[in-house]
Amino acid sequence: MSGLREECGVFGVFSTFKQDTAKAAYYGLFALQHRGQESCGIVVNDDGVFNYYKDTGIVNDVFTAEVLDELKEGNMAIGHVRYGTADTKDRLNSQPMVVNHHKGRMALANNGSLVNAPELRKKLELEGSIFHTKSDAELISYLITKARLETGSIEDAINIAMNQLKGAYTLVVMSPAKLIAVRDPQGFRPLCYGQKDDGTYIIASESCALDSVGAKFIRDVEPGEIVIFDREGIRTIKDHCNKMQEKLCIFEYIYFARPDSIIEGVSVHEARKKAGACLALEHPVQADVVIGVPDSGLDAAIGYAAQSGIPYGIGFIKNKYIGRTFIAPGQKSREDKVRIKLNVLSATVKDKRVVIVDDSIVRGTTIAKIVKRLRDAGATEVHVRSAAPPFTDPCYYGTDVDSKENLIACKHTLDEICKIIDADSLGYLNVNHLNMLIGKTDNSEFCYSCFTGNYPTEVPEGTIEDKFTKHLSEKE
Ligand code: SF4
């Protein structure tokens, strides 16, 4: 319920024989739907012929049975689900990108955000490049195809292009004969691969998508690694590995990823339970029941209840047939959707002192409404616990954390926020305890910059969006 937006999920299939790879991509993207709901696309590779379809909307709506039939069979496919931030939210910016270049063709899907996109784009534009979209995926495609002119293989071209990329990018790239998985050297976003019993390889942002197509998890792609799947088998290029400190986004565990995913050996569900247990130790309270805000606050609530000894209860029933709250643009529609989406189970909270656990608090508007709903249902006390520290700064690595002026923790003290949301007490997870969620000894191996403002890369001065939202003069 945090109101944060993940940008994307990526998926890839490689097989040595022709099969319904479009269907596999469809199921994989369906499992990754939580990572982006504004547009989606699939490209099928049928012996070097790329058939593709992409559009705005969720996977189930965009890929009807007829559309999947049209995509035909192939031995490879890649897919993408997307939430747009720097880009516009139209069909043109949907991914995967498909490009025809001097040496052939390529399809590419990306999850992340480059911190040097404006400079790279300017450099290419001054060399005569023309862009059709505002997305990093098109920019990265340009750099790879340009490098491809001077290299003998697509993987070498990717390796060279990576020298210029700064920030977060997680790619699946498909050439006529190869499927390639790439993770940036700091590993901001997750990426893993697995294999089905028939030998088909699957690449996905999260392991839950491997499960959805019956593939067994093999391993995570390492930060900086390029993994190539072709008829010869699997090869890797590690020229960009171990050059930088890993900075996997801690918010993948707290909110973005599905609880049934395992990222870098850590169960997302277990990480969230640990966040709840830490909260119980940091912010204990006398109460009768612990409830969670569905869905991403539930695991932390279970952890809080187990640690505190206070019984866990189901406090809200969620209408599952509505998109995540954040899909709706604008404050008004967001609020309306919260009311429609969650209904209080008054039998759990009436005449009780309630601890309500949410994954995080961004603007504070959603949790304020939830507190009111609990009081209206007869809760005698409402104690709010956030499984994330207070948000203080924006994210430059592919998450749409709200602007500083909208972050409630930037404008108010803890006591003020507690009053604003009308809670009896309020407690956030301590930023220094984030490492405990994933069994690290300290906070050095992951990104948590939106809670501190200390970034592991340069910070971009402007965005591509800035450039296109300014009016051009008549002369131009
Ligand atoms: S700034 Fe926050 S949301 Fe962005 S990558 Fe880092 S931890 Fe994740």
> What's residue 189's pLDDT?
97
What is the CB-side half-sphere exposure of residue 470 using CA atoms within 13 A?
Answer: 9
Q: For residue 94, which of 38, 25, 167, 158 has the smallest C-alpha distance?
A: 38
- Angle of helix 268-282 versus helix 298-308 axis, rounded to 10: 50
The CATH number given to whatever domain includes residue 306 is: 3.40.50.2020
Nearest CA to ligand 1 atom 7: 448
Task: List pLDDT tens digits, range 389-430.
Answer: 999 999 999 888 777 888 999 999 999 999 999 999 999 999
Task: Name the residue of 250, 434, 435 to mutate for ligand 1: max ligand atoms within 8 A of Cβ.
Answer: 250
Active site residues: 8
State what percent of residues in the chain have pLDDT above 70. 91
Say yes or no to pLDDT of 375 above 80. yes
227 and 275 within one domain: no
Do residues 39 and 54 lie in contact, with contact meaning Cβ atoms separated by under 8 Å?
yes
Domain boundary among 246, 281, 316: 246
- Beta-strand runs (E) in 90-212: 97-101, 104-114, 167-174, 179-183, 192-195, 201-204
pLDDT at 415: 97
pLDDT digits (tens, 9 = 90+) for 253-311: 999 999 999 999 999 999 999 999 999 999 999 999 999 999 889 999 999 999 999 99
Do residue 316 and residue 352 come from a single domain?
Answer: yes
Contacts of 295 (CB under 8 A, 6+ apart): 259, 318
Alpha helices per DSSP H over 255-323? 268-282, 298-308
72: confidence class by pLDDT, cuts 50, 70, 90: confident
What's the 5 CA to ligand 1 centre distance in angstroms?
A: 11
CA of 447 to the centre of ligand 1 (A): 6
Atom of ligand 1 nearest to the CA of 394: 1
**pLDDT tens, residue by residue, 133-176:** 889 999 999 999 999 999 999 999 999 999 999 999 999 999 99
Q: What is the Å distance from ligand 1's center to 401 Cα?
A: 8
| Full 3-state SS string of 51-82 | EEEEEECCHHHHCCHHHHHHCCCEEEEEEEEE
447 C-beta closer than 6 A to ligand 1: yes
Sheet (strand 97-101) strand order: 97-101, 104-114, 167-174, 179-183, 226-230, 233-237
Judge if 366 and 426 occupy the same domain: yes
Residue 43 is classified by DSSP as E
Query: Domain for residue 251, yes or no?
Result: no
Look up the CATH number of the domain holding residue 27: 3.60.20.10
| 388 CB within 6 A, ligand 1 | no
What does the pLDDT read at residue 403? 78
Whole-number Å distance between alpha carbons of 242 and 237: 12
Q: Is residue 62 part of a domain?
A: yes
Confidence of residue 86 (pLDDT cuts 50, 70, 90): very low
Band of pLDDT at residue 7, cut at 50, 70 and 90: confident
The tally of domains found in the chain comes to 2
255 located within any domain:
no
- For a pLDDT cut of 90, what percent of the chain falls above it? 82
396 and 364 in a common domain: yes
Q: Which atom of ligand 1 is nearest to the CA of 455?
A: 1
Same domain for 214 and 148, yes or no, is yes
Residue 277: domain span: 267-474
Give 455 Cα–ligand 1 centroid separation in angstroms.
9
Q: How far apart are CA 476 and CA 472, in angstroms?
A: 6
pLDDT value at residue 367:
95
**Would the CB of 188 count as within 6 Å of ligand 1?**
yes
